[in-house]
Copies of this chain bind each other. A is one copy, B any other.
Amino acid sequence: MNQAAYVAVDWGTSSFRLWLVDRAGNVLGERRSHEGMMAAAKPGFPAVLQSHLEAVGAAPGLPVIICGMAGARQGWVEAGYVDTPAPLASILKRAVPVPGQDRDIRILPGIAQRDAKAPDVMRGEETQLLGAVGMDAAGEAIVCMPGTHSKWVMTNGGTVERFATFMTGELFDAVSQHTILSHAVAGADETQDIDAFKSAVMAAFEAPAFAANLLFQVRSGQLIYGGTPSSAREKISGTLIGLELAAGLGRGTSKSGITLIASGRLQMLYRLAFETTAVPVRTIGAEDAVRRGLSMAAQSIWSL
């Protein structure tokens, strides 16, 4: 069996993922739980981490590299932000050691865009970017990272030039659960209505100003013409993703199209949306990207 070289942790707002990794980057052990920043505050970050380290049998001296909300002000130790334009290489240089620990534990900083006209922050996505784009990438890339708070990032030669966060995922939840549309989607099952999704994407993409009207049409359309709860859900989702794409693609794309970092259902939906708007996409799994980014950080920090 290969020997573990370090532990990599993606510590988000509501999720915790840990990998035991060897020198070559192979995963020897893995843990996932819902002990994200919110849940970890009570038992304490050290106790949560320790329990998972024991569960994978991590040796006492093994170093730990962490990204995500554990580095937020409300997290374990504040890891600050690197300001844009932010070379991805500077992320690892600015990793913050957690004081008073038996082992070497470091938390990667986020990235801040200190622009009064478009203030923005990311924390965790910078590590995905590092893994997906690399430190010494040549040329420009536009990267779309969908989620609760979708990020659109312009990188150039391994540097984050600009980025914008869209509340798309959170708007989907709030609109489906806390407005009149909750009646329209009540009882939705796993059935997909790809046509409903695609036409909603196109409608919002072509007339983004009408987003709040297109959402209401989910209800009035059901009232007048009928339609399933699942198809109503796809229309809400398509409208919000189409709105996001109208902004993200509004200033054109690079020749190589878009780099999409996403997994599972989100990857499927955004691929469909980009297909609908005829934009070429290169896809990278979100988890692969963050693990690769954490590995690059570990290898650089501890000269593995």
Contact = CB atoms under 8 A, between A and B. Distances in A.
A145 to B, nearest CB: 14
A173 interface: yes
A218 to B, nearest CB: 9
B121 A212 contact: no
Interface string A195-231: 0000000000001111111011100110111000000
A165 interface: yes
A116 to B, nearest CB: 7
B243 A119 contact: no
Contact of A174 (B175, B208, B217, B250): B175
A123 B120 CA distance: 41
Nearest to A203: B117
A275 interface: no
Nearest to A72: B223
Nearest to A121: B220
Interface stretch (A99-107, A134-142, A176-184, A296-304): A176-184
A178 B172 CA distance: 11
Contacts of A212: 150, 166-168, 171, 240, 243-244, 247
A284 interface: no
A120 B120 CA distance: 36
Nearest to A176: B174
Contacts of A225: 116, 119
The number of times this chain is found in the oligomer is 2
Contacts of A250: 209
Nearest to A175: B174
Contacts of A209: 208-209, 243, 246-247, 250
Contact of A119 (B118, B170, B220): B220
Interface residues of A, number: 46
B207 A247 contact: yes
A226 to B, nearest CB: 11
A118 B207 CA distance: 12
A266 B114 CA distance: 33
B178 A221 contact: no
Contact of A216 (B114, B165, B174): B165
A214 to B, nearest CB: 9
Contact of A167 (B118, B164, B179): B179
Interface in A143-197: 149-150, 164-168, 170-171, 173-175, 177-181
Given A173-B178, A174-B179, A247-B207, A166 B213 contact: yes
Given A121-B224, A216-B149, A220-B121, A178 B174 contact: yes
28 contacts: A112-B224, A119-B220, A119-B221, A121-B220, A121-B224, A150-B212, A164-B210, A165-B213, A165-B220, A166-B212, A166-B216, A167-B175, A167-B181, A167-B213, A167-B215, A171-B175, A171-B179, A171-B215, A173-B178, A174-B175, A174-B178, A208-B211, A209-B209, A209-B243, A210-B247, A211-B211, A211-B243, A212-B244
